Amino acid sequence: MSPAVALVPMGQVPGMTLKVIAGNIAGCLDLVVDILPGVPLHQTAFHPSRDQYNAAVIIEYLESMENIAHGKILGILGVDLFLPIFTHVFGDARMGGRAGAMSLFRLSRRPNENPLKISASEMLRPENLAMERGAKVALHEIGHLFSLIHCSDPECVMHFSGGIDHLDRLPLYFCKSCLRKLHAAFSASA
């Protein structure tokens, strides 16, 4: 039986970040996670006037990859993603579908943060914080792939996150209700 989740790096994606994301998915959801070899960025998804990639086009591309036998696929990108109704998105996934995509692009940034005012002790923080944020976005998108909707509980990784500050307040786990729904979805797909 093939592992439940495949992570597909698209373009330049740090290997350590992929391992952290895979470890969090495996640990939180008790799923087998494979990190597949990287693929080039899908250039038809690039929107020149926005200087961003359309997440929906990336997801369609991932769904068309017949050589991936995994039940769920999450594309990990280092470029900025958008959906036509949003200026940017951290990630997107087909509800109950096979594929989703997430971006690391904005995860190491703070809104309006002046890099010259970061203390020496905080210099190590951005990379670790970006990996934690990446794990949260990945868990959230995997939740959508297993048919979870946004949760009203602010103490659940499935709670909607409109920006970095919201994302930072989210925990790195699912609430009991979402976890129950996930386990039911796992049983149904087995």
Q: Which residues pair with 91 in a beta bridge?
A: 102
Measured distance CA(35)–CA(21) in Å, rounded: 10
Give me the count of residues in the chain.
190
Burial of 16 (0-12, 13-18, 19+ CB in 10 A): exposed
- Set 60, 66, 141, 155: catalytic member: 141
C-alpha 171/C-alpha 118 separation (Å) is 24
Q: Based on the residue annotation, tell me whether 141 is a catalytic residue of this protein.
A: yes
Q: Is 45 left (phi over 0), alpha (psi -120 to 50) or beta?
A: alpha
Catalytic residue ranges: 141
